[in-house]
Amino acid sequence: MVRVVASRKTTDLALHLQPLVNAFLPLAERAGLDLLVYCTRRSLHEQAVLFRKGRPLSDIQARAQTLEKQFQRPDLAEILLAAPPQYERNIVTHAAPGQSLHNYGLALDCVPMDNGKPAWAEDAPSWLHYGAMAKQAGLAWAGDWDTFREFPHIYLPGAHWRDLIRQGKETPDV
């Protein structure tokens, strides 16, 4: 099994996101939220490994073809296909390499802590508090998404991976 660990350093985030995060973290702390930042910037290889979890090879090949044909990124398709097989049952992300704001340093994932343990349950009241604090600091919260919700995920408002993937670099001109 390959274990992938993304950066947890807020200094690895894009420079224009750092001031919002630097406002958010103390705001959350003052509001009584104990947070664990567990993902900031994620490499394209790390994204490929995560995307492969829980998926059959046919789905991985189909997404590689989409990356190559629709987004004109054969480099990303190659990264996805070259990642080692992952034999886990559960899908952990919908984003292939280049399709996550983490790849551009424009998102971070945190989890509220309850008595020193992560409060992952979506019905934990701390998630709504977390989302409200993120928005108060000027961040967008994926807990507000319509199609699916990703409570830990906060990101630069207005940033879209579809705009960034065509630039062909991990450091965006946003």
For 17-68, how does the pLDDT look when each residue is reduced to its tens digit (9 = 90+)? 999 999 999 999 999 999 999 999 999 999 999 999 999 999 999 999 999 9
Torsion sign, CA atoms 99, 119, 16, 44: negative
pLDDT digit string, tens, across residues 92-144: 999 999 999 999 999 999 999 999 999 998 888 899 999 999 999 999 999 99
Burial state string for 137-161 with b = 16 or more CB within 10 A and e = fewer than 16: bebbbbbeeeeeeebbbbbbeebeb
Residue of 43, 59, 53, 46 lying closest to 85 (CA atoms): 53
Assigned token pair, 22: 């630097």
pLDDT at 173 over 50: no
**CA distances, 90 to each of 94, 161, 172 (Å):** 11, 24, 31
Domains with residue ranges and CATH for the chain: 1-42+101-167 (3.30.1380.10), 44-99 (no CATH)
Assigned token pair, 131: 């989302």
Assigned token pair, 164: 């960034």
Close Cβ partners of 142 (under 8 Å, ≥ 6 residues apart): 149, 150, 151, 152, 153, 154, 155
- Look at residue 174 in the predicted model and tell me its pLDDT: 45
pLDDT at 87 over 60: yes
pLDDT at 170 over 80: no
Q: Are the CB atoms for 91 and 79 separated by under 8 Å? A: no
pLDDT at 166 over 90: no
Q: Considering only residues 3 and 131, tell me which one the structure prediction assigns the higher pLDDT.
A: 131
Determine the Cα–Cα distance for residues 26 and 109; give it in Å rounded to an integer.
16
- Global pTM reads 0.91
